[in-house]
Amino acid sequence: MDPARYFDNASTTRVDPLVWREMEPYFGEACGNANSIHQWGQRAAAGVAKARERVAEALGCSAEQVFWTSGATESNNWILRSFESVAVSPFEHSSVWETAHVLGHSLLGNDGHSLLPPDGACELVSVMVVNNETGAMLALPRTSARVHRDATQALGKVPLSLEGVDFASFSAHKLHGPKGVGGLFAADPTFLRPLMTGGGQEHGLRAGTVNVPGVVGLGAACVLAMERREEALSHVQRLRETVLDGLAKVPDCRINEGPANSPYILSVSLLGLHGESLVLYCDQSGFAVSSGAACASGSTEPSHVLTSLGIPESVARATIRVSFSIENTIETAQGLARTLAEGAEELRRLGP
């Protein structure tokens, strides 16, 4: 399979060979537990400490403010379970949205243009930086509450500032690092309630043996992403424009985007067809795209993000997401646009 034909990078990305090279020793000769006092343990602990410095550098914070998790889902759960009264935006990833629902937290209102300040007193407001379905970049409402931002689709991709941010979630596998590892930035860790208790790792806040190869991979992925962020950003901008140009003549094609949008994500509704049928059509031509968030695929419900944007159900169901990376090429973006146009024509001819 050709990585240049993989346009589902918001779901996950390929581990970069440079990242893999840094991780590999920690599966083998440097296999120690980072809590052990012997040489193997100390080598692992040094790898973990270096990774924490690297992640902190990418975030613009200090290493003591970075906590390891199994990914952004855990980070989001951790922070939402650390406060009693939380308000979240209606555009959040299911790991925030669903968790808020389970915990009885509230939703921020929106007037169609921006999010409204929380109703009444609330301890924490959670608003993502880049939406994972449309790429829309969200602004914070005015609030005196503490602020959590899910930065999973932003870190290493678009400029990210933690000014005024108390907590932020992120994940390695969105930036060419390994799956199953991520982190939580906490400006003041005393607010964090331990999600897991046991061995006292992470200052007693997140028990469990540290995934040493994983966090080393996350650190390496952050370095790589920050080194090539500008180059990657202008490359994905060109890729997105190429696909948009190729779709310009396709009838009944609607682009779902915010006033400010990450160029890494393109959400397109092709009215009169099912997004999933188009995903399968593209797959037969060797292209990977998705019909929504990967974690929600298999769901028969239309995306809550799209319906919260006021998009009718039939249009939400006709939506696909194209998400880019530095590994795609202009040629494959042109090929994808042709395939989408042909697929839309053929699927519409066949009818629903």
13, 34, 59, 71: which one binds ligand PMP (CB under 6 A): 71
Q: Which residue is nearest to ligand PMP (CB)?
A: 71
Closest approach, Cβ 266 to ligand PMP, in A, equals 15
Cα diameter, the chain: 68
Among 66, 72, 147, 322, binds ligand PMP (CB under 6 A): 72
Q: Which stretch binds ligand PMP (CB under 6 A): 16-24, 68-76, 228-236, 330-338?
A: 68-76
Using alpha carbons, list the distances in angstroms from residue 322 to 178, 184, 264, 316, 330: 21, 27, 8, 15, 14
Q: Please, which residue, 181 or 337, has the CB nearer to ligand PMP?
A: 181
Residue 287, judged by CB atoms within 10 A of its CB (0-12, 13-18, 19+), counts as buried
Whether 31 is catalytic is no
Using CB under 6 A as the binding rule, whether residue 99 contacts ligand PMP is answered as: no
Residue 286: exposed, middle, or buried by beta-carbon count in 10 A (0-12, 13-18, 19+)? middle
262 forms part of the interface with ligand PMP (CB under 6 A): no
Any bridge partners for residue 107, and if so which?
88
Q: How many helices (H) and strands (E) does the chain have?
A: 10, 10
Interface of this chain with ligand PMP, residues 293 to 322, rule: CB under 6 A: 293, 295
89 sits near ligand PMP (criterion: CB under 6 A): no
Site for ligand PMP in 123-162 (CB under 6 A): 128, 132, 150, 152-153
Output the CA torsion 230→232→235→236 (10° steps).
Answer: -110
As measured in angstroms, the least distance from the Cβ of 155 to ligand PMP is 10
Tokens linked to 257: 């985007």
**Residue 95 C-beta: closest distance to ligand PMP, Å:** 5
- In the complex, minimum distance from the CB of residue 59 to ligand PMP, in angstroms, rounded to a whole number: 16
Rule CB under 6 A: is residue 211 a binding residue for ligand PMP?
Answer: no
Residues that bind ligand PMP (CB under 6 A): 71-73, 93, 95, 128, 132, 150, 152-153, 171, 182, 293, 295
Active site residues: 295
